[in-house]
A and B are shown apart, each in its own frame.
Chain A
Amino acid sequence: MNPTELEAQLEELHRESYGWALACCGWDESEADDVLQNAYIKVISGQAEFGGRSSFRTWLFGVIRRSAQESRRRTRSREKTLTRVARLQENPAVTNSGEDWVERSQETDRLVAALERISPRQREVVHLVFYHDLSIAEAAGIMEVSLGSARTHYERAKNRLRSLLRSAPGKGAEEGSPHA
């Protein structure tokens, strides 16, 4: 795949990739920007090379997921250092909470809140299946887990999400209302 084709493919999937980056980063927009940027750097510099063993989208989502994991590791290590420094200076612990700039309806806010409360694997599989319209097998490929495992996560995630959405505050106000 030549660079022009590569960029065309990336552009076609850009919004979806951003959505996936957001999910991988716990809806922290600045982190999602960085993660997506790093994934693009890997793709265009050849650090990540598409081998054609899966669809381009599945492969790209895998690259984004790995970039997010790397970013998380870096953030955790930075947070640990900052916390240690803060403790040493007897300051309150420093936290790194990302701000959320996406304009969402209450309903989707509740969905995001519920997604943040389920396990990462469950979150990934339902996001890939429902948001990106992938099959569970494709999701399993991106998540680097077996199909059986992905299916288990998927079933548990659905039940857990439904339960969380039912018990979420403000649910009654929007029950049955058209989508925002």
Chain B
Amino acid sequence: MPDRERSHPLRDSEDSEDLRRLFRELRSQEALSAPAFQDMMVRARDEARQSTEARESSLQGRSGGRLRTVRSRLLAGAGLLAAAAVAALMLVGIPDATDHSFEEAVRSFSTNPALGAWRSPTRDLLKVPGMELLRTVPDIGDSTWPGRSGELSRTHSL
């Protein structure tokens, strides 16, 4: 095998001939006990087919299981939401649509609108002197001051 020797510069063919010979012998003896290739291949094909089928069925089972999981999670989520809504209503309380006092007040207001125009008797106490000054704005450029000429400038009522 000169070609192989050339392509294998790391092989020391000369000083290892003793070992090489032993290995060649071992190889020829073991080759006789090798199992039949076809038998092995038939078994290998069967097992490969079985393992492929098992893998596929496990994948299908896994995807079916995933759907079931999603559905059960959705149901659980919906249940939780419903429970939360019930709890919130219990805490806040449902507005009483049959509140008689409220209905009565509405009814009395509609029959006597004066109730809506009620004013406080001490309202005039809130009026203080000079309040109108705060409600007027002098014109810019007008030199006359109301205090000196005695006449009021044109004012804009707010």
Which residues of A pack against B, CB within 8 Å? 7, 10-11, 14-16, 18-19, 22, 29, 33, 36-37, 40-41, 44-45, 101-105, 107-108, 111-112, 126-127, 129-131, 133, 135-137, 151, 158, 161-162, 165, 179-180
Contact = CB atoms under 8 A, between A and B. Distances in A.
A84 to B, nearest CB: 30
Contacts of A158: 16, 19
B35 interface: yes
A104 B33 CA distance: 10
B44 A44 contact: yes
A131 B22 CA distance: 9
B98 to A, nearest CB: 75
A41 B51 contact: yes
A16 B31 CA distance: 7
B52 interface: yes
Contacts of B24: 130-131
Interface stretch (B4-12, B84-92, B143-151): B4-12
Q: Mostly helix, strand, loop or mixed at chain B's interface?
A: helix
Contact of A18 (B4, B21, B34): B34
A10 B35 CA distance: 13
A10 B37 contact: yes
20 contacts: A7-B41, A10-B41, A15-B34, A18-B30, A19-B30, A19-B34, A33-B40, A36-B35, A36-B40, A40-B41, A44-B45, A111-B22, A126-B23, A130-B19, A130-B23, A130-B24, A136-B10, A136-B11, A151-B10, A161-B19
Given A7-B41, A45-B51, A158-B19, A14 B34 contact: yes
A147 to B, nearest CB: 8
B10 A135 contact: yes
Contacts of A136: 8, 10-11
B21 A135 contact: no
Contacts of A44: 41, 44-45, 48
A23 B33 CA distance: 14
